[in-house]
């Protein structure tokens, strides 16, 4: 029996052989695809800003990226080696645009094959407005309380204003900005602190560092207390002289810490009239002085002066 030539044998039933070969390739590819794994990641979305325009509508700050490839390859990729980018640099006119999200690879993400990258969302609808800036006052925000018995005497922010920038409509509406919380707890003396400004609207940004210095003066918290019916004491009267008649009672209003005032008993000579400069009998008008314990201050008292008659002691006894 004669054997067929090699070429004839190779070409014999060639359609079936081609179909078998293609089926083998497909099976191999399908098997390879089945071996690939997926790895989801959340990646920050970086904006490439337009020179004159700013976003005026909310947009996602992160996007979901799914890596598909061989397990040992995709899990070797560091999150910092992938960056999602929304490029707005080409836009010059206000409007609403749909912008594709691009994924940039670096470091360990390069030269991996096979590697499929899917991003969700694949594009972002974003409104753009004219970018402007403006200075607004800064308002401090506080948390906690000063030590018992203390209060803020005065405070200041350096600088007192902040420059904000963003879409024109939002910048024009902004009336002020606030600081992050300034902690008061446990403080009983003057202090200063560097504090960040609070970004209430993510579409607005601060021009500069976004921090200010808060300076505060702390004093004892003042309380007030009034006393009535106090006697006015005579002091310094020369021997042989006396005051005829009785002096009117006085009132005294004092200020101090609550603790100091709670048990305060005014001294007997809290109100006094100094007659040390009087040497002869007569009618005189002299100021009324006040004397209070240390840590207490006299806010007001009445009378401020008294008119009295000074006589010789022998005449006063008649």
pLDDT tens-digit series, residues 38-49: 889 999 999 999
Residues 82, 103: contact at Cβ < 8 Å? yes
The whole-angstrom separation of Cα 192 and Cα 208 is 20
Sole residue written with tokens 């009785």: 246
Mean pLDDT, the chain, whole residue set: 87
Quick one: tokens of 157? 């922010």
Q: What is the pLDDT of residue 263?
A: 81
Residue bearing the bigger pLDDT, 86 or 70: 86
Q: Of 91-95, 103-107, 232-236, which range is least confident? A: 103-107
pLDDT at residue 158 greater than cutoff 80: yes
The whole-angstrom separation of Cα 62 and Cα 48 is 14
The whole-angstrom separation of Cα 311 and Cα 291 is 26
pLDDT at residue 15 greater than cutoff 80: no
Question: Domains in the chain, start-ordered, CATH in brackets?
Answer: 35-129 (2.170.120.30), 130-220 (2.170.120.40), 223-316 (2.170.120.30)
Q: What is the pLDDT of residues 265-305, one digit of tens each?
A: 888 889 999 999 999 999 999 999 999 988 888 999 999 99
Gyration radius of the chain's alpha carbons: 44
Work out whether the CA dihedral 186, 190, 192, 196 comes out positive or negative: positive
Give this prediction's pTM.
0.62
Sole residue written with tokens 């009117």: 248
Minimal CA–CA distance to 289: which of 278, 305, 277? 305
The whole-angstrom separation of Cα 135 and Cα 176 is 9
The whole-angstrom separation of Cα 186 and Cα 156 is 20
The whole-angstrom separation of Cα 252 and Cα 254 is 6
| First-last CA distance in the chain | 175
Ranges of H-type helices in the chain: 6-11, 14-35, 71-74, 168-173, 258-262, 313-316
- Length of the chain equals 318
The whole-angstrom separation of Cα 165 and Cα 178 is 15
Quick one: tokens of 75? 């899990």
- The tally of CA atoms less than 13 A away on the side-chain side of residue 288 is 23
Averaged pLDDT, 10-30: 59
pLDDT at residue 29 greater than cutoff 70: no
Instruction: Say which DSSP state 80 is in.
Output: G
pLDDT at residue 34 greater than cutoff 60: no
β-bridge partners, 227:
252
CA–CA distances in Å: residue 1 to residues 4, 6, 9, 12, 13: 10, 15, 15, 18, 21
Q: What is the pLDDT of residue 1?
A: 47
**Angle 99-105-108 (CA atoms, 0-180°, nearest 5)?**
160
Residue bearing the bigger pLDDT, 79 or 271: 271
3-state secondary structure of 272: strand
The whole-angstrom separation of Cα 90 and Cα 111 is 30
By percentage, how much of the chain surpasses pLDDT 90? 63
């Amino acid at each position: 029996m004669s054997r067929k030539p090699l070429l004839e044998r190779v070409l014999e039933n060639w359609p079936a052989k081609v179909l078998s070969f293609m089926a083998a390739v497909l099976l191999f590819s399908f098997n390879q695809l089945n071996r690939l794994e997926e790895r989801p990641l959340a990646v920050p979305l970086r904006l490439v800003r337009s020179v004159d325009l700013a976003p005026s509508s909310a947009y996602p700050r992160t996007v979901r990226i799914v890596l598909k490839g061989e397990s040992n390859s995709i899990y070797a990729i560091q999150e910092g080696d992938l960056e999602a980018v929304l490029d707005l640099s080409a836009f010059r006119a206000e409007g609403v645009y749909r912008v594709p999200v691009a994924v940039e690879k670096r470091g360990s993400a390069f030269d991996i094959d096979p590697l499929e990258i899917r991003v969700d969302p694949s594009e972002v609808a974003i409104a753009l407005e004219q970018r402007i800036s403006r200075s607004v006052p800064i308002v401090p925000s506080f948390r906690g309380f000063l030590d018992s018995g203390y209060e803020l005497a005065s405070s200041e922010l350096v600088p007192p204003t902040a420059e904000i920038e963003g879409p024109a409509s939002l910048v024009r509406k902004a009336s002020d900005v606030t600081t992050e919380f300034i902690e008061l707890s446990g403080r009983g003396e003057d202090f200063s602190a560097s504090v960040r400004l609070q970004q209430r609207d993510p579409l607005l940004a601060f021009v500069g560092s976004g921090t200010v210095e808060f300076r505060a003066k702390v004093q004892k918290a003042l309380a007030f207390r009034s006393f009535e019916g106090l006697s006015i004491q005579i002091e310094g009267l020369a021997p042989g002289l006396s005051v005829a008649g009785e002096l009117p009672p006085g009132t005294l209003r004092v200020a101090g810490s609550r603790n100091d005032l709670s048990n305060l008993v005014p001294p007997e000579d809290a109100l006094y009239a100094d007659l040390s400069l009087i040497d002869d009998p007569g009618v005189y008008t002299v100021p009324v002085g006040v004397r209070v314990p240390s840590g207490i201050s006299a806010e007001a008292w009445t009378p401020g002066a008294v008119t009295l008659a000074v006589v010789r002691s022998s005449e006063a006894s008649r």
